[in-house]
Amino acid sequence: MLTRALLPPAERQQYSRLRQILDRPGLIRGSLVTMGRTCGKESCRCAEAKSKRHRALYVAVNVDGKRRMIYVPAAWEGRIREWVDRYGQIRTALEKLSRRCIRRLQSREE
């Protein structure tokens, strides 16, 4: 079993990057979806044309095996974008670590 100190520098860097990402709070495995909505007021611009609908942001996630759309309030948009992005960063870092470990296994390196 390798200790972290004996790992190649690139692999140590990936583990470090993963820890830095996980050190910040908030993760969402989902996708951001922008939709146009009508508010229902007859005098509103959204009732006139499809292109003038109100912008609404949702995060699409799987909950108990079912796809759900959760509304994101405007005040939360930046935070939720960071959380979704953070999950993507973690996934990328894990993929890189996995590829390195697979190469090590294939070459029978310790």
Q: Inter-axis angle of helices 9-22 and 77-107, to 10 degrees?
A: 150
CA-nearest of 27, 26, 24, 52 to 38 is 52
CA-nearest of 91, 29, 86 to 60 is 29
- C-alpha 2/C-alpha 20 separation (Å) is 21
Query: Other C-beta atoms within 10 Å of 52: how many?
Result: 12
pLDDT tens sequence across 13-32: 888 888 999 999 999 999 99
- Kindly tell me if the per-residue pLDDT of 2 is higher than 70: no
Structure confidence at residue 110 as a pLDDT band (50, 70, 90): low
Joined tokens for residue 46? 């959204």
Mean pLDDT of 44-66: 87
Are the CB atoms for 102 and 109 separated by under 8 Å? Answer: no
pLDDT at 30 (0 to 100): 95
- Kindly tell me if the per-residue pLDDT of 62 is higher than 90: yes
For tokens 């939360």, the residue is: 76
pLDDT at 1 (0 to 100): 58
